[in-house]
Amino acid sequence: MEELYRLVADPERVVLSGIEEKYLSDTLGRRKGTAAALVFPISTEEVSAVLRFAWERRLPVTPRGAGTNLVGSTVPEGQGIILDLSRMDRILELDPDTFTVTVEPGVVLQDLQRYVEERGFFYPPDPGEKLATIGGNIATNAGGMRAVKYGVTRDYVRGLEVVLADGTVLPLGSKNVKDASGLSLRHLMIGSEGTLGVITRCILRLTAKPEETRSAVVPFSDLKAAIAAVPAILRSGADPTAVEFVERSVAALGERFTGISFPCPQAQAYILLTFDGTRDKIETDIRRVRAVLTQQGALDFVLLDTPERTAEIWKVRGCLVKAVEAVSEQEPVDLVVPISRTAEFVSFVHETEERTGMQMVAFGHAGDGNVHLCVVRGDRDDDAWQRELHANMETVYAKAYELGGLTSGEHGIGLSKRPYYLAHTPAENLAAQRSVKSALDPRHILNDHKSYLE
């Protein structure tokens, strides 16, 4: 491994002993891996050289960014190399004529959003973890609350520079809007969780910055009524930016954690809405949605009239995972079901919760069927926690697939969801994915045994 000192210009960016534990895990810190080296490259050339070194010696390589992953995708194995790209953090170019920005993979999401908005542009993907890197967002095809209007990360990646396992550098895509030129290797890389290549440069699509943003809280007598109203919102001709659902019991967790009160505490469920665009468009959409939801049985339509109150309400929604973690260890789940089956699925979760005694806190993106669960450990010992968690997850994922759902909406598969993904994915699909892996990384050095891999 001492050869790495020759490949990386600054010896302080190579660690061969005493690797900090945070680099051996993900943000939850529960799974710990092993590695012989930690490398912080700052250029495509260094990434290529390190991968070629690993390729020649058949050493496992685990790419990572800010380490905010929730499913174990950044947990290394064996005596290989952790390739930390967080220091490749330059914004290289904003091109106003093509509405693109070119960045390195270690740029942090909130920094990119702030940078382009200060210049009149907008980067729509908005996953909850704003300290994640763009490279990590692309590797997991991150989504977020604005997906109902704007789509997910995949929809904003125009081009990539990727280094393959053997050190080969591939330019994929471009600033062009259209591309019917051969296979889209760019799209293969998006969502591949570091199993096919290492991203070293990203060309991202931007939009014009919205003139204004407004939010509303809509209380309902129960979750079924709240979820049932969502298709009516989407069919109304309005174009909401975010459509979230939160049950009253879940909102109460966030209230206790933040000290902020939700409106209409007598409600049993809420739909949270955001609208953006021109002022006239927003006012038209709000009137239209208010009328629709009144017909759907909403108890009220509370328009948040100040930026401060808006920030408070979304702070409660955004802190729910941390609110649960403050009470107990929990397993985060982000499966997705068809929008029309969301209420049915959440009802099944509650039934499972009552039958098994394992608390499952549900909330999520009502506009796209992405249901988040915090499965709570409580006072279970290690053996009981692992045994009961696995049994309940098998039950919950089986129901999601029965309803036409999928294992992950935005976090990826990694290690923690792998058993459930493999159990419900056709063997032919897995074989095809593994063939792609073997074609691009025949020695299987890149993030092997994660996601779809054996």
340 found inside a domain: yes
Residue 446 lies in a domain: no
Range of the domain at 239: 212-321
Does the pLDDT of residue 8 top 90, yes or no? yes
Is the residue at 172 inside a domain? yes
116 and 198 together in one domain: yes
Domain boundary among 37, 53, 84: 84
The residue ranges of DSSP E strands in 284-342, in sequence order, are 302-303, 330-333
Task: Convert the pLDDT of each residue in 170-204 to its tens digit.
Answer: 999 999 999 999 999 999 999 999 999 999 999 99
Check if the beta carbon of residue 80 is closer than 8 Å to that of residue 54: yes
Residue 168 lies in a domain: yes
The CA distance from 35 to 86, in Å, is 18
266 and 333 in a single domain? The answer is no
For residue range 220-246, list pLDDT tens digits in order. Answer: 999 999 999 999 999 999 999 999 999
Contact (Cβ atoms closer than 8 angstroms) between residue 408 and residue 447 = no
Average pLDDT over residues 342-347: 92
Same-domain status, 259 and 204: no
Spatial CA neighbour of 446 closest among 141, 28, 164:
164
Longest dimension (CA), the chain: 70
- Per-residue pLDDT for 322 more than 90? no
Q: Quick: pLDDT tens for 33-50.
A: 999 999 999 999 999 999
pLDDT score recorded for residue 318:
87
350-400 pLDDT tens trace: 999 999 999 999 999 999 999 999 999 999 999 999 999 999 999 999 999
Is residue 440 a part of any domain in this protein? no
- Quick one: 115 and 202 in the same domain? yes
Shared-domain flag, residues 192 and 123: yes
Q: Are 229 and 295 in contact (CB under 8 A)?
A: no
Asked whether residue 417 is assigned to any structural domain, the reply reads no
- Average pLDDT estimate for 277-298: 96
Residue 243 belongs to domain with CATH number: 3.30.70.2190
Residue 95 has pLDDT above 90, yes or no: yes
Residue 71: which of 135, 139, 163 has the closest Cα? 139
- Tell whether the torsion through CA atoms of 34, 35, 40 and 43 is positive or negative: negative
- Number of structural domains, the chain? 4
pLDDT given for residue 380 in this prediction: 96
Kindly state whether residue 422 falls inside one of the protein's structural domains: no
> Does 336 lie in the same domain as 399?
yes
Of 50, 46, 47, residue with least CA distance to 36: 50
Write the CATH number for 15.
Answer: 3.30.43.10
Let me know whether 216 and 311 are in one domain: yes
Identity of residue 100: T
Q: Does 381 lie in the same domain as 345?
A: yes
- CATH number for position 151: 3.30.465.10
CA distance 400 to 161: 36
For residue 442, being part of any structural domain is answered with no
Do both 261 and 343 map to the same domain?
A: no
Q: Are residues 80 and 105 in the same domain?
A: no
- Residue 312 shares a structural domain with residue 219: yes
Domain termination residue (choose one: 280, 299, 321): 321
- Domain end position, chosen among 84, 101, 119: 84
C-alpha 233, offset from chain centre: 25
pLDDT score of 57 = 97
Same domain, 186 and 276: no
If you average pLDDT over residues 205-229, what whole number do you get?
95
The three-point CA angle 216-364-76 to 5° equals 135
